[in-house]
Structure formats: structure tokens, C-alpha cells
Amino acid sequence: MSHNHNSTTCEMNSVITFKYENTCVLIQQWQITSLWQLLISSVFICFLGYFYEYLRYRITIFKDSVKEVGELLLPGINSEVPNFLTHTRISKKNKFKLSLLYGLEVLISLLLMLIFMTYNFWLMCSVVLGAILGNYQFQAGSKDYVKPICH
């Protein structure tokens, strides 16, 4: 019994390619078959990279807002106390929120890495452009800058 499907298969690449036809992004249903689909996908991927940088920025702000300075690790010191001599306490509710945000950060970072691993030049450029724009908007010059996990 023959099944005639008009669907095309995803092409896998192990070297950088400029060809976009039949490129699958993350799932088989997200398949690029036209220039228009490539442009829409590129804009979405660029936004995802931008959002990743925004998320990292918001996590840093949230971390700073929930820290409460705890007891001195070396009691009896009355002068300016260096940061390494105190510990911080964070409520369980805020720890849970930070853990969820961290999980979202890891998820987006890994998705961006997998998109990059399509080896499609245009999609790779979209990831990098999103990172550049997001870094410029939210991280550039920040003293609290943290290096990205995967991209």
C-alpha cells in the first residue's frame, strides 16, 4: 500500500549552509519551505534571543530585590562588613520563583542552541542578532553582567 504524501522531509546539515528549503527548526512541523517562512522564522528567533537577554536582566534585578542580609558570620565586628562575612536569606517563595525563572532561562538558552545547530546561516544570524540587540538594550555596561549559559 502506497501513501502519497506531498510533504517534504527535513534536511539535516553538519556544515553551515545558506540553503533554507526544507529546514526544520526544533520540530518537524516548523519546517521552512519558502523565503517568506524563513523571514518570519528569523524574526521570531531574533525576538527569542532578545527575550532571553531581557529575562536574564529581569532575573538579576529580581535577585537583588529579594536578598535580605542575614547574620554576620563573624559576630563582634562593628565596622563596615565585607560581603563575604555575611550570608543572605531568601524566602522559600522567592527561591521557588528564582528556580522557575532559572529553569525558563535554561530552556530558552538550550532552544537557541538547538536552533543554532541547524547550521543554517540565516537562523544562526538571527540568534546572534537577537543576542546583540538584547545585550545592547539590557546588559551592556552593567556591573552585574553574567555570561550566557549556551549561546
**pLDDT, tens only, 4-42:** 445 678 888 889 999 988 899 999 999 999 999 999 999
Q: Which residues pair with 89 in a beta bridge?
A: 68
CA–CA distance, 33 with 19 (Å, rounded to integer) = 10
8 A C-beta contact, residue 59 and residue 101: yes
pLDDT level of residue 87 (50, 70, 90 thresholds):
low
What b/e sequence results for 15-29 when a residue is b if at least 16 CB atoms lie within 10 Å of its CB, and e otherwise? eeeeebeebbbeeee
Please tell me whether the overall predicted TM-score, pTM, comes out greater than 0.85 for this model.
Answer: no
